[in-house]
Structure 1
Amino acid sequence: MKIFKAVAFIILTSSIFCTTSHAQTTRVDSLVKQLHQPLDKYIMVTAHRGDWRNAPENSLLGFKYAIAMGVDIIELDLNKTKDGVIVIMHDQTINRTTDGKGSPGDYTLAELKKFHLKNGLGRVTVNTIPTLEEVMQLIKGKVLVNLDKSYPYYNEAYQILKATGTLKQAIFKTAEDYETVRKQYPSIIDSITFMAVVDLDKPGAKQVIENYQRHIKPVAFELNFRTDTSAILKNNKFINKNGSRIWINSLWASLNAGHDDDTAVDLGNTENSWDWIIAHGATIIQTDRPHEMLQYLRKKGLHK
């Protein structure tokens, strides 16, 4: 009887472990599959610098909170220490977001870890500046990641993602044109998930999109615009038909001509903000209000 109970316990615990592991793998596989379906009607939500309203921006804690909310993608910013370690920091200095001064490149990782991140009120917390490796270990199997400010560090990021087994979870991005990217990163451009950033206010925006899709078919195009008069906003179905999603930021007015998060949340006017963005083709939205965005989309049946 004791032997039978022991065997039953082993089978039960093994089953629980496998189920949990499978659930995590399935979550990411499902998100990767969804990301590569440009005609999918469901909206994917990106948390800008994590849940920075409840934790320091670009912190492990902020990323944990965003994952717990159920976002599909977290956005973060890459920088580099004096000893060549890729860390997460938006600004070119640590002045605004930590209790230190100077640039990440002024310090080794060990020195940089002595500083602490500030929260949204400017108060110093116990959180430290994370490395890209730490972030990828945290989010492995859980969520996708958008690597902003990553263009100078594509090679280093690629190696970290390969080493951590998280390459399929990462979206590389840049505002550079196709020829420039191909010339600078010929050995990895065909091995990464790539998104091009396009300023619709600039002449030739459609040509930039078409040129990219002719050569590598980016998984998405991040469309930024100060005015909402671009013909591409009215006629952008060609982007989806040619294999790419449309990403629009709802962060601040300069990225979306005023169809922003504050209009939706603070003014309660989704018609001229989130509704408008979706009506103009977005199936990925980067937001500073991930909790409210998820509630809004789920109510409309637009988030899985």
Structure 2
Amino acid sequence: MNKHQNLALAFFLIAFSQMTNAQSLTRADSLVKQLHNPADKKIMVTAHRGDWRNAPENSLAAFKNAIKMGVDIIELDLAQTKDGVIVIMHDQTIDRTTNGKGKPGDFTLSEIKSFRLKNGLGRVTDHTIPTLQEVMLLVKGKVLINLDKSYPYYNEAYAILKNTGTLKQAIFKTDERYAEVKKRYPSILDSITFMAVIDLDKPDARQILTNYQQYMHPVAFELNFKTDTSSLLRDNKFINTNGSRIWINSLWASLNAGHDDDTAVDKGNTRDSWDWLIAHGATMIQTDRPKELLLYLKQKGLHR
């Protein structure tokens, strides 16, 4: 083989290696990169409890639907069984969402799997309460997960995420202050992707937020507000500058002062809902209308 052939082979091997590496990157890898880039202005869409309008909330089916829909993040809620298994359940009891009664902690995993989830009309389905491990194996490489109601179970969730190879895909969250979180979880806090929840109606909201950014630099701040008069809704560019994204919920009005999904979809008024949230810094929106929000953002060129 002559010099020119060797050179051509070298270029081919380099190009093949680059192509192989690109193909090995998953959608989740791209989303993780986007999540950690606070300067990125594309909106990341979070499906609240999955696609609960077409499948039981917090079910594997609801999560599968949300993935197919193209959401970036799925929000779910953690609970623990009597035998210490982390399962997905929003309420303190299983009464509303299943054909059983009692707290998740009243049952072993085997017992809790015997119950069936209800759909949005209250009808019993064939779907069962999933475990966090089942969910993470389902979403691996596909989408990010927001772990709501997870604060009591950080260590257990961390172990599951490590074992399933999905640690980078999960966002831990809490409304506790930095000092309390650091005291309770000193060994893992620097190893997880973390979002702090801030109630803007509290007089010390800015101090809580800046304290977090001083010591920890959360990947995002979830801003909740019943009224939209907080100065942090007008002056929040420093949040991005200091390395964090802004997450605002478009769910019910008490979380966003009425700039909600229903205003956008039922009233056809996006100016005072989704547009308003984006204009006030949101680059992550948790929604009960993921299909409609995704379509709207794509039409505006605001979603990848």
With normalisation by structure 1, the TM-score equals 0.93
Equivalent residue number for residue 146 of structure 1: 146
Equivalent residue number for residue 201 of structure 1: 201
Equivalent residue number for residue 101 of structure 2: 101
The verdict on how the C-alpha distance between 1:138 and 1:215 changes in structure 2, with shifts beyond 3 A counting, is same
Equivalent residue number for residue 234 of structure 1: 234
Q: Could you tell me which runs of 5 or more consecutive residues in structure 2 were left unpaired when the two chains were aligned.
A: 1-15
1:39 Cα deviation from its structure 2 partner: 1.1
1:23 Cα deviation from its structure 2 partner: 5.1
Equivalent residue number for residue 32 of structure 2: 32
Q: Is the 8 A contact 1:25 1:142 kept in 2?
A: no
Counting aligned pairs with the same residue, the percent is 77
Equivalent residue number for residue 223 of structure 1: 223
Q: State the aligned residue count.
A: 287
**Distance in structure 1 (CA, Å) of the matches to 2:266 and 2:137:** 35
Equivalent residue number for residue 4 of structure 1: none
Equivalent residue number for residue 91 of structure 2: 91
Partner amino acid for 1:55? A
Encode CA deviations 1:165-214: one digit per residue, 9 max, x unaligned: 00000000000000000000000000000000000000111111111011
Equivalent residue number for residue 274 of structure 2: 274
2:42 counterpart of 1:42:
yes
**Distance in structure 1 (CA, Å) of the matches to 2:27 and 2:54:** 24
Encode CA deviations 1:6-61: one digit per residue, 9 max, x unaligned: xxxxxxxxx9xx98x96574311110000001111100000000000000000000
2:87 counterpart of 1:54:
no
User: 1:239-254 alignment to 2 at 5 Å?
Assistant: 239-254=239-254
User: 1:41-190 alignment to 2 at 5 Å?
Assistant: 41-190=41-190
Encode CA deviations 1:253-277: one digit per residue, 9 max, x unaligned: 0000000000000000000000000
Runs of 4+ in 1 over 4 A off after TM superposition: 21-24
Q: Is the 8 A contact 1:24 1:141 kept in 2?
A: no
Partner amino acid for 1:75? E
SS of 1:75's equivalent?
A: strand
**Distance in structure 2 (CA, Å) of the matches to 1:23 and 1:45:** 24
SS of 1:259's equivalent?
A: coil
Encode CA deviations 1:78-108: one digit per residue, 9 max, x unaligned: 0000000000000000000000000000000
SS of 2:160's equivalent?
A: helix
SS of 1:94's equivalent?
A: coil
**Distance in structure 1 (CA, Å) of the matches to 2:169 and 2:25:** 11
Q: Is the 8 A contact 1:226 1:253 kept in 2?
A: yes
**Distance in structure 1 (CA, Å) of the matches to 2:208 and 2:288:** 28
Partner amino acid for 1:137? L
The verdict on how the C-alpha distance between 1:104 and 1:22 changes in structure 2, with shifts beyond 3 A counting, is farther
Q: Could you tell me which runs of 5 or more consecutive residues in structure 1 were left unpaired when the two chains were aligned.
A: 1-14
Partner amino acid for 1:174? T
**Distance in structure 1 (CA, Å) of the matches to 2:277 and 2:23:** 32
SS of 1:99's equivalent?
A: coil
SS of 2:94's equivalent?
A: coil
**Distance in structure 2 (CA, Å) of the matches to 1:105 and 1:98:** 15
SS of 2:187's equivalent?
A: coil
Partner amino acid for 2:212? Y
**Distance in structure 1 (CA, Å) of the matches to 2:216 and 2:236:** 18
Equivalent residue number for residue 3 of structure 1: none
Equivalent residue number for residue 6 of structure 1: none
Equivalent residue number for residue 265 of structure 2: 265
Q: Is the 8 A contact 1:93 1:103 kept in 2?
A: yes
The verdict on how the C-alpha distance between 1:44 and 1:122 changes in structure 2, with shifts beyond 3 A counting, is same
**Distance in structure 1 (CA, Å) of the matches to 2:80 and 2:171:** 19
Equivalent residue number for residue 283 of structure 1: 283
